[in-house]
Amino acid sequence: MSQLVIETEGLSKRFGNKFALDDLSLAIAPGRIHALVGANGAGKSTLFRILLGFLSPSAGTARVLGRDCSALTPSDRTLVGYVNEEHTLPEWMRVRELKSMRQREYKGWNARAFDEVIGHYQVLPEQRVRELSRGERAGFNLALALAQSPQLLILDEPTLGLDVVAKRAFLESLMYSNATEHCTVIYCSHQMEEIERIADDLIVLERGRLMSHSPPDEFCARISHWICDIPFMGPEPATIPGYLMRQKLDGLHHYFVLDQDAAFAEFLRSNGARSANCMPVSLDRAVNAFLAKNHATPTHSR
């Protein structure tokens, strides 16, 4: 594939007076695992519903694999795999029956991919879906999705509610499946430790807008965490260059700032800091600080 896997231009979706998506222009190239993150209400679910052709936009365009999302054919849909947080499957069916049905539906069925993924779980062919644990259901759902040989796989909070062991099994079965070598994965999660482990690309949405799109390490490099000893409240947030978030812990001030270099230490000292030290920032803290700033900023009126 040489074309973009996902492309939106000026995409907006309005529910009453509220914009779930607001002039969103996004371009995702083929291959790799692209993580989509954002606070609740950022527009992630709305974006997925439009990309899957389940919802029409209020304005703008959206294309998947070069196809207009509002005119996807049954053949187009076979190229897109989808796993949601509920792992919705027919509970009355047996594992072997559901697998056989899906195998007949998809001409490009990848038996090796199914076996690789399901091998991480103790799922028996004669079990009914309702008899599977949440973790087993998640693994079975992923196995079915990858076995259809999708060019695009959308995973919407797939590990929500799973225990530590089940999460690890899900991530490993995703990362080491041969099927992921031939498709683009969009992984939506609030779990930054998962994103840090698997993502090659990080997309940050807030209030329906694209706030950042870069590799995770480049995103973290833009955010610095400064710890300083200031004997009073310190400078007002509006005066702080690149201000994202401030905390006070054990008598020390913690500042998270965007796109600031070593000169920021001089700014702190000029505002009364007796010491100023820059600390490494994890992806979790970087995303939280970035979203804290942008979530507090009101959207423009329409």
Decide which of 218, 238, 261 is a domain's last residue.
Answer: 218
Decide which of 168, 200, 218 is a domain's last residue.
Answer: 218
Residue 151 within a domain: yes
CA distance linking residue 249 with residue 258, whole number of Å: 21
| pTM for the whole structure | 0.89
Residue 50 within a domain: yes
Residue 275 within a domain: yes
Residue 142 within a domain: yes
The answer to whether residues 141 and 264 belong to one domain is: no
The answer to whether residues 214 and 226 belong to one domain is: no
Among candidate residues 233, 240, 285, 235, the one with its CA nearest the CA of residue 259: 240
Per-residue pLDDT reduced to its tens digit, 242-293: 999 999 998 899 999 999 999 999 999 999 999 999 999 999 999 999 998 7
What total of structural domains would you count in the chain?
2
**pLDDT score for 274:** 93
The answer to whether residues 178 and 235 belong to one domain is: no
Is the pLDDT at 297 greater than 80? The verdict is: no
The answer to whether residues 174 and 234 belong to one domain is: no
Domain that holds residue 273: 222-296
Q: Under a CB-based contact definition with an 8 Å cutoff, are residues 77 and 54 in contact?
A: no
Listed in sequence order, the residues at least 6 apart from 145 whose beta carbon sits closer than 8 Å to its beta carbon are 81, 82, 83, 153
Q: How large is the average pLDDT for residues 54-80?
A: 94
Among candidate residues 208, 212, 203, the one with its CA nearest the CA of residue 24: 208
CA distance linking residue 156 with residue 142, whole number of Å: 12
The answer to whether residues 166 and 272 belong to one domain is: no
Per-residue pLDDT reduced to its tens digit, 127-160: 999 999 999 999 999 999 999 999 999 999 999 8
Label residue 302 by pLDDT band (50, 70, 90): very low
The answer to whether residues 153 and 93 belong to one domain is: yes
Is the pLDDT at 1 greater than 80? The verdict is: no
Among candidate residues 64, 80, 56, 44, the one with its CA nearest the CA of residue 157: 44
Decide which of 187, 218, 249 is a domain's last residue.
Answer: 218
In CATH, what number is assigned to the domain containing residue 182?
3.40.50.300
- The secondary element (H helix, E strand) that includes residue 236 is none
The answer to whether residues 226 and 212 belong to one domain is: no
**pLDDT score for 294:** 64
CA distance linking residue 254 with residue 227, whole number of Å: 5
The answer to whether residues 209 and 227 belong to one domain is: no
The answer to whether residues 41 and 142 belong to one domain is: yes
The answer to whether residues 23 and 133 belong to one domain is: yes
The answer to whether residues 55 and 17 belong to one domain is: yes
Residue 279 within a domain: yes
CA distance linking residue 147 with residue 34, whole number of Å: 20
Listed in sequence order, the residues at least 6 apart from 29 whose beta carbon sits closer than 8 Å to its beta carbon are 4, 5, 184
With the C-alpha atoms ordered 65, 67, 73, 75, is the resulting torsion angle positive or negative?
Answer: negative
Is the pLDDT at 300 greater than 60? The verdict is: no
Residue 228 within a domain: yes
Per-residue pLDDT reduced to its tens digit, 206-240: 999 999 999 999 999 999 999 999 988 889 999 99
Residue 301 within a domain: no
Residue 1 within a domain: no
The answer to whether residues 63 and 37 belong to one domain is: yes
